[in-house]
Amino acid sequence: MARALPRPNEASKPAGRANGARAVRAAARRQAILDAALDEFAAQGFAATRLDDVAKRAGVAKGTIYLHFRDKETLFQEIIRSVLSPVVTTVESAMQVDIPIRVIAGQLVEVFVREIYGTRRKDVIRLIISEGARFPSIAEFYYREVLSRVFAALRALLARAAARGEIKGDALIRFPQLMGAPVILAVVWNGLFDRFEPLDVRAFLNAHLDVLFGPGRAA
Amino acid sequence: MARALPRPNEASKPAGRANGARAVRAAARRQAILDAALDEFAAQGFAATRLDDVAKRAGVAKGTIYLHFRDKETLFQEIIRSVLSPVVTTVESAMQVDIPIRVIAGQLVEVFVREIYGTRRKDVIRLIISEGARFPSIAEFYYREVLSRVFAALRALLARAAARGEIKGDALIRFPQLMGAPVILAVVWNGLFDRFEPLDVRAFLNAHLDVLFGPGRAA
Amino acid sequence: MARALPRPNEASKPAGRANGARAVRAAARRQAILDAALDEFAAQGFAATRLDDVAKRAGVAKGTIYLHFRDKETLFQEIIRSVLSPVVTTVESAMQVDIPIRVIAGQLVEVFVREIYGTRRKDVIRLIISEGARFPSIAEFYYREVLSRVFAALRALLARAAARGEIKGDALIRFPQLMGAPVILAVVWNGLFDRFEPLDVRAFLNAHLDVLFGPGRAA
Amino acid sequence: MARALPRPNEASKPAGRANGARAVRAAARRQAILDAALDEFAAQGFAATRLDDVAKRAGVAKGTIYLHFRDKETLFQEIIRSVLSPVVTTVESAMQVDIPIRVIAGQLVEVFVREIYGTRRKDVIRLIISEGARFPSIAEFYYREVLSRVFAALRALLARAAARGEIKGDALIRFPQLMGAPVILAVVWNGLFDRFEPLDVRAFLNAHLDVLFGPGRAA
DNA sequence: GATGAATGAGGGTTCATTCAT
DNA sequence: TATGAATGAACCCTCATTCAT
């Protein structure tokens, strides 16, 4: 199991001056629980995950989980909410640069491959897809904090590109989701069918860009 | 909940000669259980579904379920396996006709909208996406019985289209998944975000075809 | 532990014609659970009672309890509510007869000794005293269904007695509770101090009547 | 919650010579814990009381409780034992004065109302009634240290009164408990039914004395 | 001494599965 | 065949108690 996540926005708990040690340990434990829980939730789904296993994997006692999270559902939501948000800003920024959409799209592929597909954030996306329907607040949070922000930036980007004549029809303008569809497929495929037929995600997404914007150079 | 599914290949249990009535009743019960179970599994997921609720919804006693299915998991797999297979042949057939790929693709959109998105088969796809990782045999079955067959036909279709010059680059040839990506997105979107931002699936998929093959007439 | 309760108002569940056997068994099981639970609640108090023990004592599985009672608290309240009500009518009736209060009081002592102190109803009173403060609905139910009815009848009885000159001052009229005080003491004493200094309850209560109404014959 | 108790016998821990300040602080903490614990035990009962709440209410950390008391049960018993004993001497003294029993009884009513019913000692009595059965050592302690001493003095008092002809029959002689019965009822009533029907305890107890000894003047 | 984070046994409740009717 | 009462393993969560700081 991938253990670490590139976490740009460190800092977390203030830790004051005095017993910083204790605060640090607490934060570490909390993170260990989050990590372990993500592993378990990703592997078993929400309902089938036992907090006993989470505790064991995190190396803490069962009761310790409850020192950091109110209950199983809160723990779950905490993971979903905390893991993806950091990338949103990165993606937004990349979209706002005033260069050809084909270039930006290529950068986004790299960001996705590196920051999401190559990390456990991929599992979080899978969890949202799998469990989102049962946790309306999660779907809502994800739509509000992630999707709508990304889509806003994407629409602006597409408008600029259209103005520059980089896009042919109006399909992408009307359905920006088309740009993200292969990303979803990649995550789903990875979870279900990679062992039967592996998918080279980077190549796959770049091929998609070729379809959208005409062939680029690199793959 | 959509109650009925167009089921071309009825038949199931032979029903012998004599007490055909009994066999018919048994088959009806079995189907009622399958229907009810699909509703519940789709709404709650596998682990959170209670057989009690399935029984109640099917109008049978809890024990009756065990007369037809070995256990909860078998019931689940039975649903997954039985519901999608029928469409495969339809899709294969459509792909084998020797007409422009753009036309066939348009027909496939209609098949999808009518036979899957407009029925509970959509729920089954969602279940495969959500639970497939926990049920390797399901992923495997689905890959073998559905995906690989559809992909085989699709590859042949794409080859013919390429030969005819209907396709520009080699992206689609190398990654036929690109054709299906928006279908996955549509199913996922429907489950999670339709209440925030509804998606006109037919228009969406046709827009995708416009991107792939250049604009068609219809929308 | 006293196992049976004189239950004047048999009947309970209708039991129909057909599967009366099943209904009878169900009722028996339900009663076994109530009996066992009363034993445990009386011995340990509400919070310290484990349903595991109740089940064991009742000879059923733990889950069976939940077929008959929603949860531990409901089971508890059910006991409290079902056990005492039957005696209320008896007591009311006794009080309504138009004979000297001294005689009626003597009869009430007998009723108490026989129907309450000699049965597990005594435990129920103790439970009300012990746990009532934590279960407002129980105190309220008991006040409404038992106390207020008994007090109403008692006030009428006292009024008649006063009119007949059987009572000296107005103390009893103003505080009918004085008649019941030794009953409470008896129940409490029985639970706490009988092993140090047994209390002959019948004699005790009759002595109380001597104090209230002057000496009678019997003891 | 009544905070203070008239505590005639202060002193507790000797406090050595040197760091008396520390000892005083320790004693204060200990008392704060006892006070908080009584509040909680009275409100929730022994089993349902959480030491967490006690600590919070006492303004100390949970671990601190264990510096002063071996465990939850010890803390409980400590309260029971420490709170009531002080009044015993007062009651004994009042009973030993050589004046009419009616007068002494009137004084006892005042003592009860002031020292017990008006303080948290009332709660302790309630706790003994509620939990005594589960803590044999408490019932035993209470019987030995309180009841038997009070009853001894009471029997002497009654003997003197009988010799003086202040008592009619032998009921009180045989069952001195009759004198205390309304006290028990008052405490129980206060906990359960006061909100439905308040009881004027002083008037109630004096009415009882009217019954026992004939009407007095004041109330 | 004082703290409060950490522990882990324990208990209420659920639910897949069985089986007597 | 169909039922649904009964079972009991499993799981979430609580809380008395401990102990490193």
Is residue D7 scored above 80 in pLDDT? no
pLDDT tens digits for range D186-212: 999 999 999 999 999 999 999 999 999
Window 70-109 of A, Cβ < 8 Å to B: none
Q: Do chains B and C touch (3 or more CB pairs under 8 A)?
A: no
Average pLDDT, chain B: 90
Q: How many CA atoms lie within 13 A of D170 on its CB side?
A: 3
Angle at alpha carbon of residue C39, lines to C38 and C45, rounded to 5°:
75
C152 vs C95: CA distance, rounded Å: 10
Kindly indicate the confidence band of residue D164, based on its pLDDT and cuts at 50, 70 and 90.
very high
Q: Is D188 on the interface with C (CB under 8 A)?
A: yes
Residue D198 confidence (pLDDT): 97
Residues C98 and C24 in one domain: no
CATH number at residue D160: 1.10.357.10
Touch A-B: 3+ C-beta pairs under 8 A? yes
Nucleotide with C1' nearest the B48 CA: E15
Rounded CA separation D91/A94 (Å): 86
Same domain, yes or no: B93 and B39? no
Mean pLDDT of B201-212: 97
Average pLDDT of the residues in B179-196: 97
Q: Hey, are the CB atoms on B177 and A130 less than 8 Å from each other?
A: no
Mean pLDDT of D83-96: 94
| D206-218 pLDDT tens trace | 999 999 998 876 4
What's the Cα-to-Cα distance from C136 to each of C133, C218, D126, rounded to whole Å? 6, 40, 16
Contacts of B210 in chain A (CB under 8 A): 169, 171
For residue D155, pLDDT beyond 60: yes
* 42-71 of A, contacting B, C-beta below 8 A: 43-48
Residue type, D41: F
Inter-chain CB proximity C139 and D192 less than 8 Å:
yes
Domain co-membership, C60 together with C12: yes
Same domain, A120 and A156: yes
Determine contact, residues D200/D109, Cβ cutoff 8 Å.
no
Least CA distance to C144: which residue of chain D? D196
CA of A67 to C1' of E5 (A): 8
Q: Which domain holds residue B49?
A: 1-69
Cα of D215 to nearest chain C Cα, Å: 7
One domain for residues C176 and C214: yes
Residue nearest to nucleotide E17 (CA to C1'): B71
Nearest residue in C to D42, CA atom:
C133
C65, C77: one domain: no
- Mean pLDDT throughout B169-192? 97
Q: How many helices (H) and strands (E) does chain C have?
A: 11, 0
Q: CB B169 to CB A215 under 8 A?
A: yes
Residues ≥6 apart with Cβ < 8 Å to A176: A151, A154, A155, A158
8-state DSSP, B132: G
Give the mean pLDDT of C98-119.
Answer: 97
Residues C192 and C92 in one domain: yes
Q: Which residue is nearest to nucleotide E2 (CA to C1')?
A: D64
pLDDT of residue C18: 54
Among A139, A185, A192, whose Cβ lies nearest the Cβ of B181? A185
Contacts of A110 (CB under 8 A, 6+ apart): A202
Sites in chain A below the pLDDT cut of 50:
1-4, 6-17, 218-219
Q: Could you tell me if D127 and D217 lie in one domain?
A: yes
Mean pLDDT over B56-67 rounds to 97
- What is the arithmetic mean of pLDDT over B154-165? 96
How many of the other CB atoms lie within 10 Å of CB of A46? 21
Rounded to 5°, the CA angle A196-A199-A204 comes to 155
**Is D142 found in the same domain as D198?**
yes
CATH number at residue B22: 1.10.10.60
- Residues from chain C contacting residue D176 (CB–CB below 8 Å): none
Which of C19, C52, C69 finishes a domain? C69
> What would the pLDDT profile of C152-172 be if each residue is shown by its tens digit?
999 999 999 999 999 989 999
Q: Are residues B205 and B114 in the same domain?
A: yes
Could you tell me if D60 and D167 lie in one domain? no
The answer to whether the CB atoms of D181 and C181 lie below 8 A apart is: yes
First and final C-alpha spacing in chain B: 28
Q: Do D177 and C171 touch (CB under 8 A)?
A: no
Each residue's pLDDT tens digit, A162-211: 999 999 899 999 999 999 999 999 999 999 999 999 999 999 999 999 99
CA dihedral A100, A104, A106, A111 (to 10 degrees): 170
Which of B44, B69, B94 is the last residue before a domain boundary?
A: B69
Torsion of CA D149, D150, D153, D158, to 10 degrees: -140
Please tell me the total count of domains within chain C. Answer: 2
C8 pLDDT higher than 50:
no
In this prediction, residue B142 carries a pLDDT of 95
- The four Cα atoms D163, D168, D173, D175 give a dihedral, to 10 degrees, of -170
The per-residue pLDDT for B217 is: 61
Same domain, B50 and B82: no
Would an 8 Å CB–CB cutoff place A142 in contact with chain B? Answer: yes
Which residues make Cβ contacts (< 8 Å) with residue A210, sequence separation at least 6? A216, B169, B171
Kindly identify which residue of chain C lies nearest to residue D137, measuring between CA atoms. C192
Contacts of D151 (CB under 8 A, 6+ apart): D176
Last residue of a domain, one of C69, C84, C102: C69
